[in-house]
A and B are shown apart, each in its own frame.
Chain A
Amino acid sequence: MKKVLALVLCISMLASLAAVSFAEEAVTLNFQMWSDEQELFDKLIELYTAKHPNVTINLTCTPSNDYATKLQAVVGDADLFGISSPPGLAEYVNKGAVLALDDLIAQKGTDVSGVQGTLDSTAIDGKVYGLPYKTSSWVVYYNKDIFDAAGVAYPSGDWTWEEYFEIAGKLTSGEGANKIYGSLNFQPTSMWWRVPGNTSKATNPINDDELHAWMKSAEYCKSLSDAGYQPLYEDMASDAGADYSGNFLQGKYGMFYTGDWAIEMLNTAIRNGDGFVNYDIAPLPHWDGEEAVTPGAPALLMVTSTSKHAEAAYDFIAFCTGAEAAETLLSMDYFPAWQDENTIATYCEGKTAPEHIEFIVNQTIISQVPCDALYNPAANVVKEEVSLYLLDEQDIETTEENCKARILDEVVNAY
């Protein structure tokens, strides 16, 4: 047995040597991404091809809202592509469009120590299909001026959703056009009401108990509106509720929770004269009696099963996930998937706005979305039903029952 293993190892080493010489031939890779990532990957491709002059990478960036649509059409023609969260990975693995990477990782001896956690959480049937390059996590953003005016101390560490509610109440004041809300919410068709549920590790609505935790979460979000601490959901319908950074910049909202991406959005807007708000961040609250965690999701890169240059494509995504690319990500204010003490220190280094940037990196991140192809269709059903609850058209029990019945009907039994 050992001999066989040794032989296999030898052969694979030879194969990798052969691959190195093979890689010297001119190779062109077709790479599909969404438009937010254009700048980042322009830079990573430039760095990579400087060292591998025989490789040309044709990057196509599609507007983010329509990337999922485009990918459905073009995935068979691509060599590699990106996905912004694990359910998308599972969807394409299910279709048979993605190459399993375990062999290549072993063969090339790729160092994946910095991303092992993500690889474990996104493995499907024990196989690795995608390598992560960045990750995100959630925090609370708050308007310091509103806290000062209400004489409330800034949230500065471990706190609970119950406390968030209480503080939102203290920050709320005024009437009509001058009303200050303690908390900011999103449009009822967004899924962000579920985030308090995520901190209880409820991430997949296909499981009844997790769905139930989501319902509790929806109730919590609605109770903030019903108490008058945040606008009513009916006032946030459509796009007006989607522009949360623009709304926060109006200076009428005490707190809101969203991902680390809002730091860059707020800082850019303030720099461009799109409004000003004196803000800082705090960790995401947790439920009383539970431990403090924050949901997060990695963005991943995949090699297609139809690629004729799978090895070359793999070599590039391995580069993007590694420690060297992490430095580039850091220099552009992304939080890289590759995490060691060095990257964490660099992320916080020299950042003054927000003041407590370290909260981003000092949280325990749990996976916000399961690596399950049925997640997106199921979440769509829940989104429709919960929007009715948030708009006061259906009670929470009916909502939960409808979700269960429809997920069974339209998702689980439909495939």
Chain B
Amino acid sequence: MKTKGTKNTIIFILVLIILVVLALFMLFPFVWMVLGSFKPKDELFAVPMNLLPVRWKYTNYGDVFRKIPFANYYVNTAKIAVLSTLGQVVTCSLSAYAFSKLHFRGRDALFLLYLGTMMIPYQVTMIPQYELIRNMGLLDTHFGLILLHWFSPFGVFLLRQFMLSIPDSFVEAARIEGANDLRILGSIILPLSTSALATLVTLKFLDSWNDYTAPMIMLSSKMKYTLQLGLRTFQQEFGVEYTLILAGTTMSLIPILIIYIFAQNYFIEGIAAGGVKG
């Protein structure tokens, strides 16, 4: 018994070392970014590399607010991210249910079409998409950008994969009891997919929060700009305000961290909360 205890302790310590080393590896650029946002311009690329600023410069943060309407961009970005994520969760879970739990002819072909569109680089569909949005009169609106996020094939694919692993017998049982499909989706499938939904919410919120190209093409009023768009104005024609970009990025990341920390509980406790375990 004693040897097993020692063995477990050794494994535990080994795992802990791996966890910490990996964490340092993952953390390093983030820390560099945050510390870099407190550096004056001349220190950022100094050789040899210094992690800590020699002269702490706190005004980078104030400068970001002075040079762009940062708070305004924050609100715009949050609005777009929240609404596009919500809409996407609704339309994708409906479709994913159809693709995984309903039988109809052409199901696989249609699904392959969904996948196929993911394989075309945005660089060539960008202008056709711009023209479409313009013809619909949605240029320079947040709604136009939100719409573009609602129909992503990625979300359908992700949820479909998770729903496929939920046994069909659950669905059949509910049908025999007379439940319609909307109810089955709402009261059985979705509660069982909490971890997948939390994943989708996190990844898509992140996507929309960091989206740059679509807002760059579609928006024209300065006050409607998003954070990413605002921060890129620090990359100027003949030089880049790297320290301001780092300060702005650091501030822009706080909501995503909060969303992630919150959503984490669902990654782990999702199924248990659904009450099927055991």
Contact = CB atoms under 8 A, between A and B. Distances in A.
- The reply to whether A and B meet directly (CB within 8 Å) is yes
Interface of A: 34-36, 38, 58, 60-66, 69-70, 72-74, 77, 84, 177, 235, 239-240, 242-247, 249-251, 258-259, 261-262, 265, 269, 272-275
Interface in B230-247: 232-233, 235-240, 242-243
Q: Please provide the 4 A-B residue pairs with the shortest distance between their CB atoms, ordered closest to farther.
A: A275-B42, A274-B41, A63-B232, A60-B220
Contacts of A70: 216-217
Contacts of A36: 236-237
B127 interface: yes
Contact of B238 (A235, A262, A273): A262
Contacts of B130: 73-74
A246 B41 contact: yes
Interface string B38-68: 0011111111100000010101000100000
Contacts of B127: 72-73
Contacts of B217: 69-70, 73-74
B45 A246 contact: yes
A243 B239 contact: yes
Contacts of A38: 222, 233
Contacts, number: 101
Contact of B46 (A61, A72, A250, A269): A250
B229 interface: yes
Contacts of B175: none
A354 to B, nearest CB: 17
Contact of B220 (A58, A177, A246): A58
Contacts of B63: 272
A42 B57 CA distance: 30
A269 B57 CA distance: 12
B126 interface: yes
A243 B45 contact: yes
A73 B235 contact: no
B42 A177 contact: no
A177 B48 CA distance: 7
Of A36, A250, A274, the most chain B CB neighbours within 10 A belong to: A274
A274 B57 contact: yes
A84 B46 CA distance: 31
A69 B229 CA distance: 14
Contacts of B48: 177
Contacts of A272: 40-41, 59, 63
B183 interface: no
A257 to B, nearest CB: 13
Nearest to A179: B47
B134 interface: yes
Q: How many B residues touch the partner, as a band?
A: 20 to 34
Contacts of A177: 47-48
B222 A61 contact: yes
Interface of B: 40-48, 55, 57, 59, 63, 126-127, 130, 134, 213, 216-217, 220-222, 229, 232-233, 235-240, 242-243
Contacts of B42: 246-247, 249-251, 269, 274-275
Kindly name the residue among B45, B130, B221 whose own CB sees the greatest number of chain A CB atoms within 10 A: B45
A70 B47 CA distance: 36
A274 B123 CA distance: 37
A243 B235 CA distance: 11
B220 A66 contact: no
A292 to B, nearest CB: 23
A34 B40 CA distance: 26
Contact of B235 (A64, A69, A84): A64
A74 B130 CA distance: 9
B138 to A, nearest CB: 13
A261 B236 CA distance: 11
A65 B220 contact: no
Nearest to B234: A63
A262 B236 CA distance: 12
B184 to A, nearest CB: 44
A298 B28 CA distance: 43
A283 B63 CA distance: 33
B159 to A, nearest CB: 32
A274 B127 CA distance: 40
Given A249-B41, A259-B238, A274 B216 contact: no
Given A61-B222, A62-B216, A73-B126, A247 B45 contact: yes
Contacts of A251: 42
A273 B237 contact: no
B239 A265 contact: yes
Contacts of B41: 243, 245-246, 249, 269, 272, 274-275
B236 A242 contact: no
A379 B130 CA distance: 29
Contacts of A247: 42, 45
B240 A239 contact: yes
B37 to A, nearest CB: 13
A57 B132 CA distance: 24
A273 B216 CA distance: 32
B40 A64 contact: no
A275 B40 CA distance: 7
27 contacts: A34-B237, A35-B236, A61-B222, A62-B216, A63-B235, A64-B235, A65-B235, A66-B213, A69-B216, A69-B217, A70-B216, A72-B127, A73-B130, A239-B240, A243-B45, A243-B240, A243-B242, A249-B42, A258-B238, A259-B238, A262-B239, A265-B238, A269-B42, A273-B40, A274-B57, A275-B40, A275-B43
Nearest to A235: B47
Interface centre among A243, A244, A258, A275 (most CB of B within 10 A): A243
A58 B235 CA distance: 23
A174 to B, nearest CB: 13
Contacts of A74: 130, 217, 220
B242 A246 contact: yes
B44 A261 contact: no
B260 to A, nearest CB: 27
